Amino acid sequence: MDTIHDLKTWQNIRRSKIASSVRVGFVPTMGALHAGHASLLERARRECDVVVLSIFVNPTQFDNPEDLAKYPLTLEADLALAARLGTDYVLLPDHAQMYPDDYAYQVIENRFSRELCGAHRPGHFNGVLTVVMKLLNLVRPHRAYFGEKDAQQLELVRAMVDVFFMDVEIIPCPTLRDHDGLALSSRNTRLAPDDRQKARLFPELLQSSLPAGTVRSQLEKAGFQVDYIVDRDGRRYGAVHIGGVRLIDNVIR
């Protein structure tokens, strides 16, 4: 496995060492890898000739500096997992390389990105779409793998690729859940034991047949701060805070 910090080095490898007939699979991440990320890497390994992982904690998608400062960093374990799963290249760019323009250029979507998480995290999806566009242009994968836990992100990335005629297939991958139903997320490690116990109520109520308003009030009664519980196009989306940690999830209805 090659670990690459310098983007010029990567671009040379991509140009000169990876033939156009080779199928490249890409898993973009912010690190703190868990079994959900592992399932994306495994699928990319099964379906592609070369697997590329990126680890970049993208500051432009954090609306809250405290959330960015607390984002878990587990690089050593991440690299060990990636190597175990047969990843070929890991890209570890820094901020200066990713944003030489200091974020003057941005990808902005004006509709769906303003709803759900976007309504509570101003600018979040501008940051996500901008960094994903940059990463896809750098890696030029045939397939890029995204988790369905971040369903709004997945939808926006899919639409971006479509409207900008980008030559990549976006592959949605199912949400992985812990034994009690909590969707796997890098943020789960920040939950205090009591809050982790309580967190199971979130997927439980989201999956119930109760109306969205009732789910919201039951979560609030249990001590969650609720950003939204919304039914939209056959899916129920939710975002809550517990003990200072923000959790999102969604289920098909």
Q: Which of 251, 246, 217 is nearest to 117 (CA)?
A: 246
- Locate all alpha helices (DSSP H) within 48-86, ordered by sequence: 65-69, 75-84
Does 28 engage in binding with ligand PAF (CB under 6 A)?
A: yes
Query: Rounded to 5 degrees, what are φ and ψ at 229?
Result: -130, 110
In the shown chain, the binding pattern of residues 136 to 155 toward ligand PAF, with x for contact by CB under 6 A and - for none, equals --------------x--x--
Q: Hey, which residues are catalytic here?
A: 37
| Spatial distance between the Cα atoms of 21 and 31, rounded to a whole number of angstroms | 29
Q: Which is nearer to ligand PAF, 92 or 205 (CB)?
A: 92
Among 131, 138, 161, 205, binds ligand PAF (CB under 6 A): 131
In the shown chain, the binding pattern of residues 86 to 125 toward ligand PAF, with x for contact by CB under 6 A and - for none, equals ----------------------------------------
Q: Binding to ligand PAF (CB under 6 A): which residues in 219-248?
A: none
Q: Which stretch binds ligand PAF (CB under 6 A): 25-33, 63-71, 75-83, 176-184?
A: 25-33
Q: Which is nearer to ligand PAF, 187 or 241 (CB)?
A: 187
**DSSP three-state, residue 32:** coil
Beta strands in the chain (DSSP E): 2-4, 24-29, 50-55, 89-91, 143-147, 169-173, 225-232, 235-242, 245-252
| Spatial distance between the Cα atoms of 8 and 93, rounded to a whole number of angstroms | 10
Does 30 engage in binding with ligand PAF (CB under 6 A)?
A: yes
Does 36 engage in binding with ligand PAF (CB under 6 A)?
A: no
Residue 217 CB coordination number (10 Å): 14
Binding site for ligand PAF (CB under 6 A): 28-30, 58, 61, 128, 131-132, 150, 153
